Structure 1
């Protein structure tokens, strides 16, 4: 039909088929309340083109379709049944149960619902089209619910579940739809899913609309909790009740998850400030300014934004952190902190979307609920902060673009930014208060030295102290280095130190004037190091990431651990490195830049390349060994066993702890490997990180890492590695609810694995595709892929993959209510899994058997299966899976009427999930609340 305007004209006429639509009405429906001057002439052109198009179409009835000029308007003359909308409405009207039998109503409604294909008025954006689309969607949902209830009345809940699952995902706030799906799940014996659905709907209603579920949903939940089998068609619901919510129907969800506001209170209040600065002195004037700004903003109920700016080495971060600790109690609902690394010598700065993800993690926003775009993430972050008194410290910002998306939109927050730049546009557009942080005054600098060296030593040689302060130009970083040298050599005369520092002037190199004084101190301090410590300091300039573990430093320098620790102690004493966590070292960005300059100037390209390779080998090897503990089938590629050069990571718990500690650095290592052409190492790291990212919900990191791995694999021409990267990407998209992307990548993984002839990779790709379909409730298609994976695992003689596939086939069969066959497959999986040291795999299978026995009405067996799953998960330190099995055991106990036992299991699950900051805690907490209400005979308050 051509342009959207022309389609809108036809749609407006089709809605009123057989009736004359005034030209003014058509103009308003196309252009709105303020049409252009030539609107009527353009309308006439559209009418002419539509008339020609209608002459060429064949109608369902065989009658012609004509567009006629009427009195003051236009009329579409054609049979109403030739238009899906009118045919749909006629079928729904005929299905009134007062006019036909239940079987006839079911058939008519099935026909009516089948007429819907895609979104109505797709691509039309006028205000009339939006209103009409919403109204028609309500009609469709009304018809679907009516049809579903006829299916339930004849005892076919499975057909209802398959149809309503998709719609309930698209329209989660329509209560009649949710209630009918919950009834169907319960009628099919899927009690746990039914209660989970209720909890999810209630949470979304509270967060998005601020209301509790209505009577219909409450009745369904109470009936389930009290163990009453509902009538086949459920509670009688009037047509008015079906449409009662009267909420605007949202458009069909995009491929990323749509999120509402975050919970009003996080389970854990963020407290992210770094450790306060020891021996902090001075800055009374700047702190007074900050306190005045805070007091004024609180009195005027206005947001406060302060920018501490100065040259490098002036102590901006120390000032910000120290003052933030002083006022932290005024922000009881949390303190957020991030180092934006705006001036890192490597040029790798922290992107705003990385920060919003970190902050949203702090608020326990479920990973699958975090949108993709920066704008949407920033909006969700502001929703989390809204109404809370919070302190946000954005340290080391490079420019306004890094800062602006991270600014809260609430007057109850204070944002403290540090930067080497004044960021004047923040002052102009956001009302920021700039505070220049100059060098320390003489008396403040003297206090810094006194705090470190003792007042007696400083007073004993005031002249030398004056020279030291002058040479350091009052810069806190330079003073810290001088104080460290004096403190570690208590017998060294301060005058001698001053002479050494004076001698360093003139040979310090060509830094910018603003950094000249601190650079002189760097050179002087570096020259005091032993040759071995100096070499180690230089090599640290090759390390990416915000910090590094001492064992990685040992591999970087090709030293044993005792020797490395001795040299690191020398560097720490000189304040050239700092230990901000046990065994983890970091460098100030100026010192990192100095180390990078030195290593390029002093060490040969071959030495630098060898050091980087050693560091990569360290992380590739350790990542692989940690991954094996999470995914045992990787062991065939894991390489040699443990040796003295690596830590002993022997349990899944230790593996997760290691990955967590190294998370930020591993991301930098992956980028560094790609930049420097270490493509094979990059691909190996990406494969090893896959399971950790999936377990912890770092799916965006997974997608970004696998994207780099895919590029590296293409450069290598390694099609197997390309397939593995596609599979990892597909799994992450599936967890995020982006099923189209998940299918595309998983399907590409399967194609590539077929090309290279890797049956084990083909099996893994089929398992990934199965999960894509399972998460959409498409269990028949999931089963097809699970069975394909099982066959391929047998061909590859991969016993562990064979066992995993057996369990997955069993689970898919259980979802299709083929419980006896499901039990057989899961039992066979257990036999194989017992051959391996894989408690997590065994636990997952016992959990499947628990569900199957529950559905087979074998409660005693179900209870034993769940308890075995809990025991094995504890042995494997798989805390989330333990909580999940506790949750499932509670469901079984509840259906047996053992409310006390169910409550105990759910309480244990909540404790674990709260410790993990996992969003599932809210679902289980809903169960506990519902159980208590059912026992007390009351429903939720509205």
Structure 2
């Protein structure tokens, strides 16, 4: 018997035995296919589910490898297979084999017609399939999203079962379980209502009233809303000692039955959004099928993201579900008029659809809403409330009886509707690259796309998955068939959203975004505009506070309001992002609405905060490196340096792209001292993470800034570090040119310390060209200079360098003596990275002295220290050499493991030459090992034991 379990730890069982599924990513592939068992999952969607939006370089072949391995562990006798289909893969499994699908099937039956006892038994069986948190053991944005959806499905099923048990008179036995559920979901009004009913059934009316009072106070304090009508009705019945079971609705209104058909035409050439359509169906299915209440979904997202497009497409695909009619209201929450539709006008419009005579419409709004609820009770209706401004505009339009479905679209996320009325939120993002390409192809035709493939790709990149932007581009191309796509792409790339202006506000992206901008208050609009000039792809709340000059709490509140307005999004790391087109619009607003002095001051504050935090973090990563004196004053507010080494490394990981962008912004503004100091602060992080090209580019910018400053000391550091960056990139001629200029500058100012470092770098240049004797000469010179400056860290590194090149010259005894002296100095001064480098050198010496077991020990110690300081670049080279030492000992299995890990790091760091060598070593394991050959080639040898930042 085969079982694929996803409702708990992801695993595969055959006849009760757990099958090894391999690494987490491979298990993620199985889960991604199993959740859609019987349906084709495209390769792009599979890669997104496994790796998220940013694929590794070899994602596709790696995915195929995972699928191949899974096919080998799936038992053929169980009629299960992963089949290749046009566009993707399909998992075929026996009925009931996938627990999630079994869960959903049992839930569907349990919510259908039948005796309550039988329905309760089906839902109980469904809940017993859960063995913990769904999809345990796999990570990533897709897994987190699916976990949230499944968690919601589980809660809904638990509530459905509770409703049935309450109806069967078992309320008293449910009190304890509902108390725990209320504690877990304190603002869920459905759970709260069930808890009140169970307390009432148990004769604990006072406790029920106390809980209602506490819940109401919390809803008002946290969400600014009262409990919804269903919960208020339960409260009234308990308060007046009425029966606690909810009364059945009166379905007789005495009015003629009208079946309104108000939906606009379905959108033509709708493409993609498969996952969003499935999610919408899933969230609207449960309550509608069970007949327990109104199913409400809120589609939120930025203007032009395709909310109405999706809502209408879904509605027309499911017309058969709503035999009693479909209503559509444009609430005009955001539009050229700038005034949302009055609530009374919207209610009266819906009453008109049911044929209510004007004389029969009550005067008071609450009475009109009550009449609307009476008219919709017991009907299977779809109500599409498009372009809503806020919850207050929507709430009076909601039907009261079960069977109705409400689809709301809004640029706001409407948390009040979610919390107060049980609506399901669905935030829309941009469409995928594949969907965008399919949409453009459907509009323009495959021939036009094939004729200018590069221009088409540039257009897709400019539109960034925005459906409105893609539609505008396609419309312009169709309206001007002689206009090359390349010209259209160039215009859009240069002008941003303004380049999509066709003169019609409804199809002008800038105008559409302006409607959201106009709805902001003054503080929100200022925050939005300033975010447009913030360097980098995202921003933390602390950085946004600094940018705006606000305390952190008000700044975070403004960010939340922009998130609710779908102008920014927040990721799971609590960082805020803007879509590129929205950012371009924000930048344009900043240029128009904010004076340059305010923009410059805001950017100066933010760049200053980043510089000071980076400098503090650098000091934690490499305390032995002599600090520089920053010219920017320390920020008055918001400066909170990292607390330790791990926190500093994590901060750099989060802020790296923003720091690089901040350096470019500082250079553009002419803040030259800040420009080269940012490069200095990034250097250690770049070296430890192997970000070689980033290091080269930041020092190129820094060198130009230092030249403009005409500061000899800054120039010497910039030229030397640019030369060092060239060494890492194996550009010896360019490195030599920069280092000679750096040495001349240091000699001019009699800076022995800078001269010593430059000689160390000159040694490295000679080393990568194979001239080890001249390399050692520079290293010895550096050693003497460091001794004279009293710098133990530099002296230790110079000792290691002299030892390293002695080893390369075959003088192993001298090499060992110098490297041991380097190790002792580094240990004495608590320099863990220096220790690691010296230990690696001693490993190399031992390896080439035929002491292979000693080499293994040295390399292992070095590996631990490189990992401790987060130096993944040098970790890769050490794994490589450790594999060579194991191979020399004929321990091929351990050698294979280390070389595979080294290969993975080389690939992640885009080190093609090193990766090719590692693959060659892995393929050579079948033959006899070369007991004298280290893993590093002559050119690459210095990459671990000689390239060190100071």
Please report the TM-score for the alignment, with normalisation by the length of structure 2. Answer: 0.46
Identify which of structures 1 and 2 has the higher relative contact order when contacts are C-alpha pairs closer than 8 Å and 6+ apart.
Answer: 1
Please report the TM-score for the alignment, with normalisation by the length of structure 1. Answer: 0.47
